[in-house]
Structure 1
């Protein structure tokens, strides 16, 4: 599995002082997406809707609204 491209703009373009350690979204060579964000599983797991579930190997990750909004143009429709 390999990263094909960044989805959205680089952290530095979103105001990161270092330009290196911020939420990010990447498209993988198999069509999936990888996300760098703040781990929040313990905080949000008890609040998942009744029709949502998380496997033991999955984590809930938070990215900023700006990260996702600025990635919208790069996310394919299909």
Structure 2
């Protein structure tokens, strides 16, 4: 069964100042306890800079979310 989004963490993109569909990073909590992130795919530019003990599977991407997006979600991120 595919996970489903149950809630947004933090403010909406519009509340953070995005007035278009061009800059809409977002963070969502899924019903299985995981999180989904909408961000800029930076795999090609950042993969070579990963620390030696980090890795990425072929199906994984390195995604960048703005500082404002993550800080706006901070109070909604569960402690456990």
Please tell me the TM-score bracket, short chain as reference: over 0.9
- Supply the RMSD in Å over aligned alpha carbons: 1.3
Aligned twin of 1:30: 32
Aligned twin of 2:10: 8
Structure 2 unpaired stretches of 5+: none
Structure 1 unpaired stretches of 5+: none
Secondary structure of 2:37's partner? strand
The number of aligned residues is: 78
In structure 2, what is the Cα distance between the partners aligned to 1:58 and 1:71? 22
Structure holding more helix per residue? 1
**Which TM-score applies when normalising by structure 2?**
0.93
Q: Runs in 1 of length 4+ with deviation above 4 angstroms?
A: none
Is the 8 Å Cα contact of residues 10 and 19 (structure 1) preserved in structure 2? no
Secondary structure of 1:45's partner? helix
Is the 8 Å Cα contact of residues 37 and 62 (structure 1) preserved in structure 2? yes
Distance change >3 Å, CA 26–CA 20, structure 1 → 2? farther
